[in-house]
Amino acid sequence: MKEDILHNLSIINKRIKDACEKSGRNPDEVKLLLATKTVSPEHIKVALENGYHLIGENKVQELKEKYEDLKATPHENHFIGHLQTNKIKEILKLGVTCIQSLDRLELAEKLHQKFSAENKTIEVLIQVNTSHEESKFGIPPDKAIELVTKVSEFSTLKIKGLMTIGLFSAETEKIRTCFKILKNLQQEIIRENIPHVEMKELSMGMSGDLETAIEEGATIVRVGTAVFGARIYPDSYYWN
Ligand SMILES: *Cc1c(COP(=O)(O)O)cnc(C)c1O
């Protein structure tokens, strides 16, 4: 298993590098986030002990279960799943540095309440539903600027960019449309010049579509299956 993970990581690196080359980008501009849902701490550590640093979990419960085991191994943890407001308190204690899935004002309000009470701040990305699928979380693109503007007023939440999950499709061009929507939205928000809003990060692209995402400007690709193998739970378990 260890060899498999390391081998898979080297393949992913090569895919990222090739995609950057193809689109004239510097590979240093693209961070690899390992999506570690269902992956055991033992397997996560294989990556963390071999030069990889950034992981992402989808559920607070899983984050909590792995916390002790991973604590001593240097890494950074982003939250990439649907966050329920009753779990915010726990997020505070689990060392998450960025919530990539901020998708509604109510969540922002509750986060701000809790974080200001603790005198802490956290980085966030605004999750946008670019595929218009009912089953996916995220703010609709036409509501995103309004949400960014409102969230920007919460001093504990540092907006760093946008995140999306592309359409599940075998048709690359349809997936590309999702990534283009996110990129265009980023450009639009930059033009709005909203105080306290940074729009540097575009978190998009997964195991199956990371090349397309990089061609369209991704700065963070989130990869699970292609590194750790297939999961036993369907993604709907995490995304609904
Ligand atoms: C699971 C997950 C990924 C990684 O998906 P793979 O297809 O396994 O690479 C990326 N982003 C989010 C939000 C996820 O939940």
Closest Cα to residue 198, out of 109, 88, 98, 93?
98
pTM above 0.75, yes or no: yes
Class level of CATH domain 2-229: alpha beta
- For 157-223, the DSSP string reads EEEEEEE------S-HHHHHHHHHHHHHHHHHHHHHT-TTEEEEEEE---TTTHHHHHHTT-SEEEE
Testing ligand 1's pocket by substitution, the residue of 15, 44, 80, 133 carrying the most ligand atoms inside 8 A of its CB is: 80
Residue ID of nearest Cα to ligand 1 atom 13: 80
The string of pLDDT tens digits covering residues 82-101 is 999 999 999 999 999 999 99
Residue type, 172: T
Token reading at 15 = 């895919």
Residue ID of nearest Cα to ligand 1 atom 6: 224
- CA 47 to centroid of ligand 1, rounded, Å: 16
Q: What is the DSSP code (8-state) at residue 224?
A: S
Domain ranges of the chain: 2-229
The string of pLDDT tens digits covering residues 130-175 is 998 876 789 999 999 999 999 999 999 999 999 999 998 889 999 9
- Residue 240: the pLDDT is 59
